[in-house]
A and B are shown apart, each in its own frame.
Chain A
Amino acid sequence: MEVSMTVNGRAVSADVEPRTLLVHFLRENLRLTGTHVGCETGYCGACTVHVDGKAVKSCTMLAVQAEGADVKTIESLASNGNLHPVQEGFWERHGLQCGFCTPGMIMASVALLDENNNPSEDEIRHGIEGNLCRCTGYHNIVRAVEYAGAKMRGEEPPPPDWEGGE
Chain B
Amino acid sequence: MTAPSRVRPARVAGGVGDSTLRPDGIPKLEGSFEYAQDLWQEGALWGATTRSPHAHARIVAVDVSPALSIGGVHAVLTADDVPGSPTFGLEHSDQPVLASDVINYWGEPVALVAAEDRDTARRAAAAVKVRYEILEPLTDPGEADTRDEAFRRIRIRRGDQEASGPVVVEGYYETAMQDQAPLGTEAGLAVPDGQGGVDLFATSQFLHVDHEQVVASLGLSADQVRAHPTGIGGAFGSREDVNLHIHLCMLALRTGQPVKMVYDRSESFTGHVHRHPARMWYRHEANRDGTLARVEARILLDGGAYASTTPAVLANASYFAVGPYKCDSVAVDGVGTRTNNPPCGAMRGFGAVQVCFAYETQMDRLADALSMDPIELRRKNALTTGDHFATTGQIIETPLPTVEVLESLAAMPLPADSESDLLPGGSGLTTEARHVMRGIGYAIGIKNLGFSEGFDDYSQARVRLAGSGAVVETAAIEVGQGLVTVLAQIARTALGISDVTVEHVDTSRIDSAGSTSASRQTQVSGGAVLKAATTLRDRILHHHDGDDLTDQGVLRNGDVIVTMGELVADDWQETATFRHPPTTAPDEYGQGKLHADFAVAGHRAVVDVDPELGLVRVIRVDTAQDVGKALNPEAVLGQIEGGIMQGVGLAVMEELVVEEGIIRNPNFTDYLLPTILDAPDVEALLIEEDGSWGPFGAKGVGEPPTISSTAAVAAAIRAATGKAIERVPVRPQDIAL
A residues near B (Cβ < 8 Å) are: 17, 19, 24, 27-28, 31-41, 43-44, 46, 73-75, 77-78, 83, 87, 90-92, 94, 96-103, 106, 121-122, 125-126, 128-142, 160-162
- Do B184 and A78 touch (CB < 8 A)? no
A31–B479 Cα distance when bound, in Å, is: 23
* Partner of A91 from B29, B37, B118, B233 at Cβ < 8 Å: B29
Q: Do A37 and B37 contact each other (CB < 8 Å), given the known contacts A91-B26, A98-B182, A162-B637? A: yes
- Do B637 and A40 touch (CB < 8 A)? no
B33, B262, B266: residue with the most chain A Cβ atoms closer than 10 Å = B33
- Do A140 and B641 touch (CB < 8 A)? yes
- Do B675 and A129 touch (CB < 8 A)? yes
Point out the residues of chain A lying under 8 angstroms from B22, CB to CB: 94, 96
Instruction: Report B10-42 CB contacts with A as 1/0, cut-off 8 Å.
Output: 000000000101101110111111110110100
- Do A33 and B38 touch (CB < 8 A)? yes
Point out the residues of chain B lying under 8 angstroms from A75, CB to CB: 30-32
- Do B31 and A103 touch (CB < 8 A)? yes
- Do B679 and A122 touch (CB < 8 A)? no
Chain A nearest CB, measured from B35 CB (Å): 7
Chain B nearest CB, measured from A75 CB (Å): 5
A98–B669 Cα distance when bound, in Å, is: 22
- Do A94 and B638 touch (CB < 8 A)? yes
Is there a chain A Cβ closer than 8 Å to B449's Cβ? no
A19, A34, A132, A134: residue with the most chain B Cβ atoms closer than 10 Å = A134
- Do A97 and B480 touch (CB < 8 A)? yes
Which residue of chain B has the shortest Cβ distance to A141 in the bound complex?
A: B676
- Do A90 and B679 touch (CB < 8 A)? no
- Do B25 and A77 touch (CB < 8 A)? no
Q: Do A132 and B679 contact each other (CB < 8 Å), given the known contacts A37-B37, A39-B667, A43-B669? A: no
Is there a chain A Cβ closer than 8 Å to B585's Cβ? no
Point out the residues of chain A lying under 8 angstroms from B264, CB to CB: 37, 40
Chain B nearest CB, measured from A93 CB (Å): 9
- Do B183 and A91 touch (CB < 8 A)? no
- Do A94 and B234 touch (CB < 8 A)? no
Point out the residues of chain B lying under 8 angstroms from A125, CB to CB: 422, 676-677, 679
Instruction: Report B231-251 CB contacts with A as 1/0, cut-off 8 Å.
Output: 011111000000000000000
* Partner of B265 from A24, A41, A73, A74 at Cβ < 8 Å: A41
Which residue of chain A has the shortest Cβ distance to B264 in the bound complex?
A: A40
Kindly list the 3 A-B residue pairs having the minimum CB-CB distance in the complex, ordered from nearest.
A34-B31, A98-B480, A100-B233
* Partner of B642 from A40, A106, A134, A160 at Cβ < 8 Å: A134
Point out the residues of chain A lying under 8 angstroms from B553, CB to CB: none
Chain B nearest CB, measured from A114 CB (Å): 18
A83–B681 Cα distance when bound, in Å, is: 28
- Do A138 and B25 touch (CB < 8 A)? no
Interface residues of B in 162-191 (CB under 8 A from A): 180-185
* Partner of A139 from B19, B181, B633, B679 at Cβ < 8 Å: B679
Q: Do A36 and B676 contact each other (CB < 8 Å), given the known contacts A94-B634, A100-B233, A140-B641? A: no
Chain A nearest CB, measured from B126 CB (Å): 15
- Do B26 and A140 touch (CB < 8 A)? no
Point out the residues of chain B lying under 8 angstroms from A91, CB to CB: 21, 25-26, 29
Which residue of chain A has the shortest Cβ distance to B681 in the bound complex?
A: A139
B residues near A (Cβ < 8 Å) are: 19, 21-22, 24-26, 28-35, 37-38, 40, 118-119, 180-185, 232-236, 262, 264-266, 421-422, 427, 479-482, 633-635, 637-638, 640-646, 667-669, 673, 675-677, 679, 681-682
* Partner of A77 from B21, B30, B640, B682 at Cβ < 8 Å: B30
5 pairs, CB–CB < 8 Å, chain A vs chain B = A97-B480, A128-B676, A132-B675, A134-B182, A136-B638
Chain A nearest CB, measured from B187 CB (Å): 10
Chain A nearest CB, measured from B634 CB (Å): 5
Chain A nearest CB, measured from B603 CB (Å): 13
Chain B nearest CB, measured from A108 CB (Å): 10
Which residue of chain B has the shortest Cβ distance to A101 in the bound complex?
A: B183
17 additional A-B residue pairs with CB within 8 Å, beyond A37-B185, A41-B265? A33-B38, A34-B30, A38-B184, A41-B668, A83-B29, A97-B481, A98-B183, A98-B232, A100-B35, A100-B182, A100-B184, A106-B29, A125-B677, A126-B677, A129-B675, A137-B640, A142-B676
- Do B233 and A98 touch (CB < 8 A)? yes
Point out the residues of chain B lying under 8 angstroms from A129, CB to CB: 427, 675-677
- Do B642 and A39 touch (CB < 8 A)? no
Chain A nearest CB, measured from B204 CB (Å): 14
- Do A44 and B183 touch (CB < 8 A)? yes
Point out the residues of chain B lying under 8 angstroms from A142, CB to CB: 676
Chain B nearest CB, measured from A140 CB (Å): 7
- Do B19 and A99 touch (CB < 8 A)? no
A41–B233 Cα distance when bound, in Å, is: 18
- Do B668 and A138 touch (CB < 8 A)? no
* Partner of B682 from A87, A96, A131, A137 at Cβ < 8 Å: A137
Which residue of chain A has the shortest Cβ distance to B233 in the bound complex?
A: A100
A34–B29 Cα distance when bound, in Å, is: 9
A106–B25 Cα distance when bound, in Å, is: 13
Point out the residues of chain A lying under 8 angstroms from B182, CB to CB: 98, 100, 134
Point out the residues of chain A lying under 8 angstroms from B634, CB to CB: 94, 160, 162
- Do A131 and B265 touch (CB < 8 A)? no
A40–B677 Cα distance when bound, in Å, is: 22
Point out the residues of chain A lying under 8 angstroms from B427, CB to CB: 126, 129
Q: Do A33 and B482 contact each other (CB < 8 Å), given the known contacts A125-B676, A132-B675? A: no
- Do B677 and A46 touch (CB < 8 A)? no
A29–B221 Cα distance when bound, in Å, is: 37
B118, B236, B264: residue with the most chain A Cβ atoms closer than 10 Å = B264
Point out the residues of chain B lying under 8 angstroms from A121, CB to CB: 421
A128–B675 Cα distance when bound, in Å, is: 9
* Partner of A73 from B19, B31, B482, B679 at Cβ < 8 Å: B31
Point out the residues of chain B lying under 8 angstroms from A27, CB to CB: 38
- Do A132 and B641 touch (CB < 8 A)? no
Point out the residues of chain A lying under 8 angstroms from B21, CB to CB: 91-92, 94
Which residue of chain A has the shortest Cβ distance to B678 in the bound complex?
A: A138
Q: Do A38 and B183 contact each other (CB < 8 Å), given the known contacts A96-B28, A97-B482, A137-B642? A: yes
Point out the residues of chain A lying under 8 angstroms from B233, CB to CB: 36, 38, 98-100
- Do A36 and B677 touch (CB < 8 A)? no
- Do A102 and B668 touch (CB < 8 A)? no
Which residue of chain A has the shortest Cβ distance to B33 in the bound complex?
A: A99
Chain B nearest CB, measured from A116 CB (Å): 16
* Partner of B638 from A73, A102, A135 at Cβ < 8 Å: A135
- Do B181 and A138 touch (CB < 8 A)? no
Which residue of chain A has the shortest Cβ distance to B479 in the bound complex?
A: A98
A10–B169 Cα distance when bound, in Å, is: 70
- Do B234 and A135 touch (CB < 8 A)? yes
Point out the residues of chain A lying under 8 angstroms from B677, CB to CB: 125-126, 129
- Do B481 and A40 touch (CB < 8 A)? no
Which residue of chain A has the shortest Cβ distance to B621 in the bound complex?
A: A137
B25, B262, B421, B669: residue with the most chain A Cβ atoms closer than 10 Å = B25
Q: Do A134 and B181 contact each other (CB < 8 Å), given the known contacts A17-B119, A129-B675, A140-B638? A: yes
A70–B181 Cα distance when bound, in Å, is: 32
- Do A97 and B638 touch (CB < 8 A)? yes
Point out the residues of chain A lying under 8 angstroms from B25, CB to CB: 90-91, 96, 99
* Partner of B641 from A28, A87, A128, A136 at Cβ < 8 Å: A136
A90, A97, A121: residue with the most chain B Cβ atoms closer than 10 Å = A97
- Do B232 and A137 touch (CB < 8 A)? no
Chain A nearest CB, measured from B264 CB (Å): 5
Chain A nearest CB, measured from B393 CB (Å): 36
Point out the residues of chain B lying under 8 angstroms from A162, CB to CB: 19, 633-634, 637
* Partner of B32 from A19, A34, A126 at Cβ < 8 Å: A34
A33–B34 Cα distance when bound, in Å, is: 8
Point out the residues of chain B lying under 8 angstroms from A141, CB to CB: 676
A24–B658 Cα distance when bound, in Å, is: 32
Chain A nearest CB, measured from B47 CB (Å): 15
Point out the residues of chain A lying under 8 angstroms from B24, CB to CB: 99
- Do A133 and B31 touch (CB < 8 A)? no
A31, A135, A162: residue with the most chain B Cβ atoms closer than 10 Å = A135
